[in-house]
Amino acid sequence: MGNIGSGVVIDLVLHGIQVVGVDVSLDKLERARVEILKGLRFAPLLSKHLPKVTSGEAIKRVNLTTSLEQVAACEFIIENVTEDWDIKRRVYETLDRVAAPPVCLGANTSCISITRIASVTKRPAQVVGMHLMNPVHLKSSVEVIRGHHTSDQTIEVVQQLFRQLNKQAIIVGDLPGFVSNRISHLFMNEAAFVLQDNIATAGQIDAIFKQCFGHKMGPLETADLIGLDTVTRSLDVLYEAYHDPKFRCCPLLRKMVDAGWLGRKTGRGFHVYPD
């Protein structure tokens, strides 16, 4: 489920929703379980407005499994698989077969077009993009993407879900990267180029965004939070989609991924995370 998948589970559980969480291995599920419990524990520290849920209550609301077939009983499905078209395509073909006919599929994708995702299913009107961002339970809004065939009814279903999560849906059209990542990845990528060119330190780059622009996080901190492997894959998707050189991935970013410095999740990225 990765970073974002665990974040989605935390938000759903906090709001009293039963969840089936699927990942490809027991190791990954165990890491997700630890992240989910940690996120639930610290939620009251990060926001006074969130409900408190004990680990005992949380365990009752979450079923973690490696069997994708177990989502058959779900009333809504949120897909968070890695930003790789071949993997996404196979997952959607299975979801389309397993999920009950009225169920909508929410693609929590970074950059891949919702219309393209919907094209591999027999329910394109019920496929909708929902770009949730970390930390999911602290965000008051979500970017919702209407694919070419997404129906008004599906938009209404997803809006109901987000009302339950106290989030405002900002509905936009569909092209790769949508609004958020098409712009934010240019920031993160160029910040990596600035660092590579020795113009400033990572701390200085982020400080300028926070202290001068008033952003809550700088572009390099944001990249560390998302995961540099995910950022790199998203840039590759954008480059492939638009064939525009502005999306070419910074070599430093790719080198850090090769070195295993993926950001917060590995304890080191552009910044160091002691815990």
Partner 1 sequence: MVANDLNHVRETIRSFINHSINIEGLGDDENLFESGIVNSLFAVQLTTFVERHFGLEVGTDDLDIENFKSVNATAAFVVRKAGGNPV
Q: Should residue 217 be labelled a site residue for partner 1 when binding is judged by CB under 8 A?
A: yes
Q: How near is the Cβ of 274 to partner 1 at its closest, in Å?
A: 6
Interface segment toward partner 1; rule CB under 8 A; list 12-20, 87-95, 111-119, 215-223? 215-223
Interface segment toward partner 1; rule CB under 8 A; list 27-35, 88-96, 115-123, 211-219? 211-219
**3-state per-residue secondary structure call for 96-133:** HHHCCCCCEEEECCCCCCHHHHHCCCCCHHHEEEEECC
**Which of 205, 223, 225, 238 forms a contact with partner 1 (CB under 8 A)?**
225
Integer Cα distance of 136 and 134 in angstroms: 4
Q: How near is the Cβ of 261 to partner 1 at its closest, in Å?
A: 17
Q: Should residue 203 be labelled a site residue for partner 1 when binding is judged by CB under 8 A?
A: yes
The β-bridge relationship of strands 19-22 and 62-65 is parallel
Question: Can you read off the two tokens belonging to residue 143?
Answer: 């970017």
| Rounded to 5°, angle at Cα 71 from 67 and 75 | 175
Q: Should residue 42 be labelled a site residue for partner 1 when binding is judged by CB under 8 A?
A: yes
Question: Can you read off the two tokens belonging to residue 44?
Answer: 């009251």
Q: Should residue 274 be labelled a site residue for partner 1 when binding is judged by CB under 8 A?
A: yes
Query: DSSP per residue over 141-177, as a string?
Result: EEEEE--TT--HHHHHHHHHHHHHTT-EEEEE--STT
Q: How near is the Cβ of 200 to partner 1 at its closest, in Å?
A: 13
Q: Should residue 273 be labelled a site residue for partner 1 when binding is judged by CB under 8 A?
A: yes
Tell me whether residue 203 or residue 251 sits nearer to partner 1 (CB atom). 203
Q: Should residue 255 be labelled a site residue for partner 1 when binding is judged by CB under 8 A?
A: no
State which of positions 21-40 bind partner 1 (CB under 8 A).
38
Cβ–Cβ under 8 Å, residues 263 and 230:
no
Give the residues lining the site for partner 1 (CB under 8 A): 38, 41-42, 44-47, 52, 135, 138, 203, 210-211, 214, 216-217, 221, 225, 272-275
